[in-house]
Amino acid sequence: MKFSLSWLKQYLDTDAGIEEIAATLNAIGLEVEGIEDPAEKLQGFRVARVLTAARHPDADKLQVLTVDTGDGDPLQVVCGAPNARAGLVGVLGLPGATVPANGLVLRKSAIRGVESNGMMCSTRELELGEDHDGIIELPEDAPVGTAFAQYHGADPVIDVAITPNRPDCMGVYGIARDLAAAGLGTLRPIEALEIDGSYPCPVEIRIEDAQGCPAFYGRVIRGVKNRPSPQWLQDRLKSAGQRPISALVDATNYVMLAYGRPAHAYDLAKLNGAVVARRAVEGESVEALNEKTYTLDAEMTVIADESGVHDIAGIMGGAHSGCGDETTDVLLEIAYFDPERIARTGRKLNLTSDARGRFERGIDPNFLDTGLAQLTGLIQTLCGGEASEVVRQGAAPATPKIVHFQPALVERLGGVIVSPAEQQRILGSLGFSVVATEENGVQDWAITVPGWRPDIDGAPDIVEEVVRIHGLDNVKSVPLPRADGVARATATPAQALERRTRRAAAARGLQEAVTWSFLPEAAALVFAEGPLWILANPISEDMKAMRPSLLPGLLMAARRNLDRGASSLRLFELGRRYLRGQGGASDERLALGLVLAGEKTPRGWKSGKAVPFDAYDAKAEVLALLAEAGAPVDKLQVMGEAGPQFHPGQSATLRLGPKNVLARFGMLHPSLARQFDVDGPVAMAEIFLDAIPGRKGAASFARTSYAPPALQAVTRDFAFLVPAALPSGDLVRVVQGADKANIVATRLFDDFRGQGVPEGQKSLALEVTLQPLEKSYKDEEIKAISDKVTAAAAKLGAVLRG
**Binding-site annotation: residue ranges for Mg(2+):** 455, 461, 464-465
Could you give the dihedral angle defined by the CA atoms of residues 159, 161, 167 and 168, in that order, rounded to the nearest 10 degrees? -50
Question: Hey, what amino acid is at 305?
Answer: D
The per-residue b/e assignment along 91-107, b for 16 or more CB within 10 angstroms, e otherwise, is bbbbeebbbbbeeeebe
Q: Is 513 helix (H, G, I), strand (E, B) or coil?
A: coil
Tell me the C-alpha to C-alpha distance, in Å, between residue 165 and each of 30, 34, 37, 412, 461. Answer: 11, 21, 29, 23, 11
Tell me which H or E stretch contains 379: helix 368-383
Q: How many helices (H) and strands (E) does the chain have?
A: 20, 41
Beta strands, E only, 258-400: 264-267, 275-279, 285-287, 293-295, 301-305, 308-312, 316-317, 329-336, 386-387, 391-394
**Which residues face 119 on adjacent strands?**
93
Indicate the pairing of strand 205-207 with strand 275-279.
parallel
C-beta of residue 148 within 8 angstroms of C-beta of residue 46 = yes
C-alpha to C-alpha distance for 59 and 214, rounded to whole angstroms = 69
Hey, which residues does 716 pair with through a beta bridge? 768
Residues 6+ apart with CB under 8 A from 792: 734, 735, 737, 738
Q: Which residues in 355-411 belong to E strands, given as ranges?
A: 386-387, 391-394, 401-405
Q: How far apart are CA 233 and CA 250, in angstroms?
A: 8
Identify the burial level of 696 via C-beta atoms within 10 angstroms of its C-beta, where 0-12 means exposed, 13-18 middle and 19 or more buried.
Answer: exposed
Annotated binding site: 455, 461, 464-465
Q: Letter for the amino acid at 2?
A: K
Neighbours of 707 (CB within 10 A): 6
Q: Whose CA is closest to 111, among 133, 78, 88, 84?
A: 78
- Cβ distance 209 to 301 under 8 Å? yes
Cβ–Cβ under 8 Å, residues 406 and 445 = yes
Burial class (CB in 10 A: 0-12, 13-18, 19+), 473: exposed
Q: Is 455 helix (H, G, I), strand (E, B) or coil?
A: coil
